[in-house]
Amino acid sequence: MNLNPKKQKTWVYEFLVVLVVLVLVALITKKGLIEWLGVFAVLVTFGHTQIADRLREREAFRYKIDKIVEVECYWKLNWYFYIKETLWFVYFVLLGAYSALAGVFIFLLYPIWRKWWRKKHPLI
- pLDDT attached to residue 81: 84
Residue type, 12: V
Tell me if 52 sits within 8 A of 83, measured CB to CB: no
**Rounded-to-integer distance, Cα 124 and Cα 62, Å:** 11
Chain segment 88-120, per-residue pLDDT in tens: 899 999 988 888 999 999 989 998 999 999 999
Chain segment 2-41, per-residue pLDDT in tens: 556 567 889 999 999 999 999 999 999 998 898 899 899 9
**DSSP sequence for the chain:** ----GGGS-HHHHHHHHHHHHHHHHHHHH--THHHHHHHHHHHHHHHHHHHHHHHHHHHHHHHHHHS--SSTTTTHHHHHHHHHHHHHHHHHHHHT-HHHHHHHHHHHHHHHHHHHHHHHS---
* Nearest partner of 46 among 121, 113, 120, judged by Cα: 113
- pLDDT attached to residue 124: 75
Whole-structure pTM over 0.85, yes or no? Answer: no
Chain segment 41-90, per-residue pLDDT in tens: 999 999 999 998 888 888 888 888 888 777 778 778 888 888 988 998 99
pLDDT, the chain, mean: 87
**Rounded-to-integer distance, Cα 74 and Cα 70, Å:** 9
